[in-house]
Amino acid sequence: MRSMTGYGDAVSETPDFVLSIDVKAVNNRFLKINSKISDEVNFLQIELEEVVRRRLARGSIFFTIRFQPSRCSDLYQVNEDVVKKYVETIKRLGKELDSAGDIRLQDILALPGAIKVDDNIVPGREKVLPIALETMEKALASMMVMREREGRNLHEELQSRCKNLDQMMGKVKEAAPQALEEHFRKLEERTGALLGEQKAGMDENDILKEAALLAERSDISEEIARMDSHLEQFVGQLASSEPVGRKLEFICQEMFRESNTMGSKAPGNEVGRFVVEIKAEVDRLKEQVLNVE
């Protein structure tokens, strides 16, 4: 089991460049990938995202790629001819339009063509891509170590929650028959009182049918059986080596639905109190499951 939260990084150095990758992951119901890549190597995006998709099942992933050529000082050069042309044009237009203003060099350098890039210094795709793929694998491996460590903690937490639920369900099973019997007795007393009153328009068979229907609606044996089945499936999924987060989410939804039904049907204050505790525990279980890949 792995958590969806993690961080990893890796750096690769070659005679021509240094490339570093940071990978961060947080919770997300699906797999969502965002990236920030140095302009010089933005051609790496598609291949590196594909590596992430092969390794991870879900989570919100953000990776950053930093690229620095070994001769970085020679990479960017001022195009003096272009800068001079900009200055001359601005001065001429200032005179023609009778508009005076300071000409700042930093503004000129931000204009298109003022800075030229020596493309020969930036290694090509054939040199950068293999190194980038290898670096991404290392960064992901580093992140997976953290996710697996957090996953072990989650596994222990979920197992503990399941044990609590199993114990609570045991209390419900013990209390339910007696509570249902007490509920039947109260229905019989109430039915007898109604029949004894002999109110106009009341039919004895109709009252007995309604009492039987109410008694049947108070029986939670089916919900108990389904709850046990869901809990068994949940524990079984914890032993899987595959990503199980979404399956566990679905099982939690089913357990919450069954516990909610039990709460609405539960006869007796004691059973109702146990069901409230079960619903709270299922809710805590669901919160933890949201962290599982």
Asked whether the beta carbons of 146 and 7 are under 8 A apart, the reply is yes
The set of residues, in sequence order, having a beta carbon less than 8 Å from that of 15 and lying 6+ positions away, is: 70
Give the pLDDT score at 172: 85
143 in a domain, yes or no? yes
Does residue 199 share a domain with residue 96? no
Pairing of strands 31-37, 59-69: parallel
The structure tokens listed for 280 are 């709270």
Give the DSSP letter of residue 3: B
For residue 134 the two structure tokens come to: 């290898």
Name the pTM for this structure.
0.67
66 and 80 both lie in a single domain: no
pLDDT at site 33: 96
- Could you give phi then psi for residue 151, rounded to 5 degrees? -65, -35
Please count the structural domains in the chain: 3
pLDDT score at 200: 46
Cβ atoms within 10 Å of 220's Cβ, excluding its own: 24
Residue 91: inside a domain, yes or no? Answer: yes
- Chunk the chain into consecutive blocks of 10 residues (it has 293) and report each block's average pLDDT, rounded to whole numbers: 94 91 94 91 93 94 90 66 86 79 77 70 81 96 95 94 92 75 61 56 56 61 91 93 92 92 74 87 93 92
Question: Does 160 share its domain with 252?
Answer: yes
Residue 1 lies in a domain: no
Task: Transcribe 155-197 into DSSP letters.
Answer: HHHHHHHHHHHHHHHHHHHHHHHHHHHHHHHHHHHHHHHHHHH
User: DSSP class of residue 71?
Assistant: T
pLDDT of residue 274: 87
Does residue 157 share a domain with residue 143?
Answer: no
Residue 267 domain flag? yes
Asked whether residue 43 is assigned to any structural domain, the reply reads: yes
Are residues 51 and 128 both part of a single domain? yes
Q: Are residues 96 and 137 in the same domain?
A: no
Output the domain CATH number for residue 156. 1.20.140
Return d(Cα 62, Cα 7) in angstroms, integer: 10
How big is the chain by its Cα radius of gyration, in Å? Answer: 35
Domain residues for the domain of 25 are 6-70+124-148
| 55 and 162 inside one domain | no
CATH number at residue 26: 3.30.230.70
User: Are 140 and 231 members of one domain?
Assistant: no
Q: Name the token pair of 259.
A: 């516990």
Distances (CA, A) of 101 to 104, 106, 110, 111, 158: 9, 15, 18, 17, 69
Contact 131, 12 (CB under 8 A): yes
Are both 11 and 144 inside the same structural domain?
A: yes
108 and 27 in a common domain: no
Do 209 and 268 lie in one domain? The reply is yes
178 lies in a domain? yes
Domain check: are 160 and 257 in the same one? yes
